[in-house]
Amino acid sequence: MDIISENRCFGGVQGVYGHRSKATGTDMTFGLFLPAEAADGPVPVLWYLSGLTCTHANAMEKAGAQGWAAEQGIAVIFPDTSPRGENVANDAAYDLGQGAGFYVDATEAPWAPHFAMESYIMQDLPSTVFDAFALDPNAQAITGHSMGGHGALTLAMKHPGRFRSVSAFAPICNPAASDWGQKQLGAYLGENADFEAHDASHLMRTDGLDVPLLIDTGTNDQFGDLLKTEAMASAVATRRAEATLRLQKGYDHSYFFVSSFMEDHMTFHSEALYA
Amino acid sequence: MDIISENRCFGGVQGVYGHRSKATGTDMTFGLFLPAEAADGPVPVLWYLSGLTCTHANAMEKAGAQGWAAEQGIAVIFPDTSPRGENVANDAAYDLGQGAGFYVDATEAPWAPHFAMESYIMQDLPSTVFDAFALDPNAQAITGHSMGGHGALTLAMKHPGRFRSVSAFAPICNPAASDWGQKQLGAYLGENADFEAHDASHLMRTDGLDVPLLIDTGTNDQFGDLLKTEAMASAVATRRAEATLRLQKGYDHSYFFVSSFMEDHMTFHSEALYA
């Protein structure tokens, strides 16, 4: 593991690190905010999965998570959103290929060799960070924005027991029925794949989530039609899951929205992580 | 004035606006965070001057000011750091020309026609924003980072009575004696100009500042030798000015440093603005 940068931040350290991933077969970069408490022993961890076009850096720089994480003594991991590099498949569109891994393991050409973001987030990166840093594997939570909200919701439901709490900012809720989902799941998994196995609203209906859930989405989200928040709202209500869904008046899809509600999400996760 | 973007943020609006500046003779772009309270009448204003290479956008996205500004009911203005455009003089170096206005009015070729950042910040942009938004001209404060810290300190001392409080993050303190200053002041004002008339440490010694001052600088600032914090520390102590200078252990020059202490600065300004 290589140290790319380390900056003192809210009494802790905002680091950026590089490592070789078996899952993706590439070098990967991630951000990690480690609060001061990590000097005394393992701290709880919040995974923050980012959206389309983002790298590890966007949320680390714009989401305003570190101050609240420092206050709660929680580490935050900011993974990249896909494998990258000259030898990694890509697409000219912003929403396919590099920067758009969708948190699934691709089975189809040309994506299969490197696009294994579910395995990367669930196995490969955890084995790296829990080995290298004072993080408590028994106190993990997950959140994400947009495509990363889809990732947080689906990974938590596909891997019950792994996360103590789940939240999302403007998540893609129903990719099996959206242009943000059908295109990518078709490319990565094949047009005949079971898209619903990677659809948060479907998973909520069929498997549910046995930990607390918080979702915030803006009423002025410019991608609202693609997110299909109504599918998740319906699924949560049908399932009678322990959940809070908030439609935030006037907010859009930007980091100005995400940062506005970061305190609430960090408090929410803190309650579960320290329970 | 043109609306470039408006995003709901912490209950207020983070806007980006374009306007024609008489001072610079160019179109200029600025950011403005307007808290919810502005709907009910004029609110206090904090000017945030950015550093070398920055536009209006960097601090607006990374400094984490809006949450604390919203809590205090304070507007924050994020001006650009220079005039820009194809017809505006520039230099290949990152620290001269576009993105490096140094908050002075240039008198020398090729800079004089457009590089009038002191007039822009002190006269031109205020006339625009106080006309267009619910801002209280009698409740202004100023802060800045690096070159913007130099701007905040020098403009406040050159224009006594304008700001109720002044702060800075890792400011350039003694440009008359630093490579961050001699080069630019020489280019913009001429090699024989009185650099000390634009030097915060000199102004503190000679004119002083009659409002509260807060400065934070990291002990690990990678540009520490260029900032010459010691000159300002000495000047403040000699002058016996009302001031707090803090050397923050382990912090560097980044926005991770700025954001870590933004709450303190906003609280500091709030006390003066609501006094």
Say whether pTM exceeds 0.90. yes
Q: What percent of chain A has pLDDT over 90?
A: 100
- CA distances to A145, A153, A156 from A159, rounded to whole Å, are 19, 10, 5
Whether the upstream peptide bond of residue A110 has omega within 30° of 0, thus cis, is: yes
Is A95 one of the annotated active-site residues of the chain?
no
pLDDT-derived band of residue B33, with 50, 70 and 90 as boundaries? very high
**What is the structure's pLDDT at B54?**
98
**What is the structure's pLDDT at B128?**
97
**What is the structure's pLDDT at B42?**
98
CATH of the domain at B213: 3.40.50.1820
pLDDT-derived band of residue B70, with 50, 70 and 90 as boundaries? very high
Q: What residue of B is the nearest CA neighbor of A263?
A: B67
Chain A residues within 8 A of B64 when measuring between CB atoms: 64, 67, 259
Is A114 one of the annotated active-site residues of the chain?
no
Compute the distance between CA of residue B136 and CA of residue B122 in angstroms, rounded to an integer. 15
Residues of B with CB under 8 A from a CB of A: 7-11, 14, 61-62, 64, 66-67, 218, 220, 248-252, 254-257, 259-260, 263
Q: Where are the alpha helices (DSSP H) in chain B?
A: 57-62, 65-72, 117-119, 125-132, 147-158, 179-189, 200-206, 224-227, 229-239, 255-260, 262-273
From B14, B62, B251, residue closest to A61, measured CB to CB? B62
**What is the structure's pLDDT at A216?**
97
pLDDT digits (tens, 9 = 90+) for B173-214: 999 999 999 999 999 999 999 999 999 999 999 999 999 999
Compute the distance between CA of residue A67 and CA of residue A61 in angstroms, rounded to an integer. 12
pLDDT-derived band of residue B125, with 50, 70 and 90 as boundaries? very high
pLDDT digits (tens, 9 = 90+) for B129-169: 999 999 999 999 999 999 999 999 999 999 999 999 999 99
CB-based contact A259:B47 (threshold 8 Å)? no
pLDDT digits (tens, 9 = 90+) for A213-266: 999 999 999 999 999 999 999 999 999 999 999 999 999 999 999 999 999 999
* ipTM score assigned to the predicted complex: 0.87
- Give the residue numbers spanning the domain of A207: 2-273
Grouping H, G, I as helix, E, B as strand and the rest as coil, residue B220 is coil
pLDDT digits (tens, 9 = 90+) for A188-215: 999 999 999 999 999 999 999 999 999 9
Q: What is the mean pLDDT of chain B?
A: 97
When divided into structural domains, chain A yields a total of 1
Summarize the confidence of residues A141-152 as an average pLDDT. Answer: 98
CA distance B26 to chain A (A): 28
Grouping H, G, I as helix, E, B as strand and the rest as coil, residue B218 is strand
From A11, A61, A256, residue closest to B9, measured CB to CB? A256
Interface contact A252-B7, CB threshold 8 A: yes
pLDDT-derived band of residue A73, with 50, 70 and 90 as boundaries? very high
Contacts of A27 (CB under 8 A, 6+ apart): A18, A19, A20, A21, A85
CA distance B2 to chain A (A): 20
Summarize the confidence of residues B35-54 as an average pLDDT. Answer: 98
Is A269 one of the annotated active-site residues of the chain?
no
**What is the structure's pLDDT at B137?**
98
